[in-house]
Amino acid sequence: MIPGMAAGIIYNNETIFQQAYGVKDLSTMEPVDLNSLFQVGSTTKAFTSALAAMFVEEGFFDWKDRVVDVYPSLRLRDTYAQESFLVEDLMAQRSGLYPCAEDVLVIWGFDRGKLLQALTYHPTMYSFRSGYSYVNNLFLAVEDLLTKYSGKSYSELLQERIFDPLEMNNSTGTIEDFLSADNIVTTYMYSNGGLLAIDPEDSFIRRVNAVFPAGGICSNIPDMLRWVDLHLNMGTVNGEELLTRDSILFMHTPMTIIHGNSLEPVRAYCQGWVYEEFAGLKTIWHNGDSAGCHVMVLMVPQEQLGIGVLSNVESKKCLTSLPELLCRLHWARNLLFSRNSSRCIFTQILLK
């Protein structure tokens, strides 16, 4: 069961579908609307890589710079990795660390300083750059780079460089701003076979602050579609270049193979995005989990198509993969999508 959800489709710079479903809270039964805020989890990583790209364009550092040269504080147990780490490696999921390294420290309530310090002692699963391993903590080093060269906080940079130019007027750069907003969803987790509402005053929700640049942003469907449209338009918004075409393409470029080969479609991690081939299409996507929300954002740049689905329940049961399912249905566009109408199988499924 998914209490509430919001979904949208953008095609050729036009929002052709937006709809809200279900309720924000099962106790009050207040309905979700298009402005309702959800936590968007790890889709935050793409925002962090976009900020990094802006700093690269402005000459503060380069993708190929060694991290020890621009951020000497980084200390890893693997000394070869420490000396060889490039800025682009921080967001390419090829560190060699164990998957979700140190996430348990977040659950236990440790702050970001402890997470970075713990990297010194964390063992590796395999050698640096030899394979894919999804971690959150290295995005903290990117945040430190951004604040070092700007003198501003991560939330200030988000607001000034992304939210304001894109008119993402409802999105929040701190979890406190989310919790104090008027129109937020109650988040849910599975417990004893049912849904349990997470108390917004519970410190569990605020623990995302420790890894905010990897998963802390909160947003709604209209705002997320503006973000997607920026990528589909190769960095341009309202005729203004926010990011160069080269930066957008770099962020969408496969860096670390997840699976696939010459006979099978390739899935690879990029810079805060996932590249995946399906039915002859190249898709760019990322999903996200947080304290009781699960979301999916997917783009098909060749077709100028973007899709977003936000839900207010964690992804612990098969039904909560619905955001991924709904987005991926559009890969087979000849079967599932009509360019002349916003009425498509996507909307028919949602309306059932």
DSSP-derived secondary structure for 237-303: ETTEESS-HHHHHHHTS--EEEE--SSS--EEE-SSSEEEEETTEEEEEEEEE-SS-EEEEEEEGGG
* Kind plus residue range of the DSSP H or E element containing 161: none
Neighbours of 277 (CB within 10 A): 16
Q: Identify the band that residue 344 occupies on the pLDDT scale cut at 50, 70 and 90.
A: very low
The reply to whether 264 and 321 lie within a common domain is yes
Q: Which residue has the higher pLDDT, 328 or 250?
A: 250
The reply to whether 175 and 299 lie within a common domain is yes
Percent of the chain at pLDDT exceeding 70? 89
The reply to whether 124 and 255 lie within a common domain is no
Is the residue at 162 inside a domain? no
Rg of the Cα atoms in the chain: 19
Q: Which residues contact 140 (CB under 8 A, 6 or more apart)?
A: 112, 115, 116, 211, 213, 214
Q: Give the C-alpha separation, 241 to 314, whole Å.
A: 36
The reply to whether 209 and 297 lie within a common domain is yes
Number of H helices, E strands in the chain: 16, 14
The reply to whether 250 and 298 lie within a common domain is yes
Q: Give the C-alpha separation, 126 to 61, whole Å.
A: 28
Q: Which residue has the higher pLDDT, 38 or 117?
A: 38
Total domain count, the chain: 2
Instruction: Examine the pLDDT at 194 and tell me if it is beyond 90.
Output: no
Instruction: Examine the pLDDT at 223 and tell me if it is beyond 60.
Output: yes
Q: Which residue has the higher pLDDT, 349 or 183?
A: 183
Q: Specify whether the CB–CB gap between 42 and 216 falls below 8 A.
A: no
Q: Identify the band that residue 59 occupies on the pLDDT scale cut at 50, 70 and 90.
A: very high
The reply to whether 30 and 57 lie within a common domain is no
Q: What 3-state class would DSSP assign to 233? A: coil
Q: So what's the pLDDT on residue 327?
A: 66
Neighbours of 134 (CB within 10 A): 16
Q: Which residue has the higher pLDDT, 268 or 102?
A: 268
Residue-wise pLDDT tens digits, 288-343: 998 889 999 999 999 999 999 999 998 765 444 666 666 666 544 433 444 444 44
Q: So what's the pLDDT on residue 279?
A: 76
Residue-wise pLDDT tens digits, 79-126: 999 999 999 999 999 999 999 888 888 888 888 888 888 888 888 898
Instruction: Examine the pLDDT at 76 and tell me if it is beyond 50.
Output: yes
Q: So what's the pLDDT on residue 105?
A: 83
Instruction: Examine the pLDDT at 228 and tell me if it is beyond 80.
Output: yes
Q: So what's the pLDDT on residue 350?
A: 44
Instruction: Examine the pLDDT at 19 and tell me if it is beyond 80.
Output: yes
The reply to whether 344 and 235 lie within a common domain is yes
pTM of the predicted protein model:
0.92
Residues in the chain: 352
Q: What is the mean pLDDT of residues 246-264?
A: 95
- Domain span at residue 233 reads 4-43+169-351
Q: Amino acid identity of 257?
A: I
Which residue in 312, 221, 285 sits closest to 22, CA to CA? 312
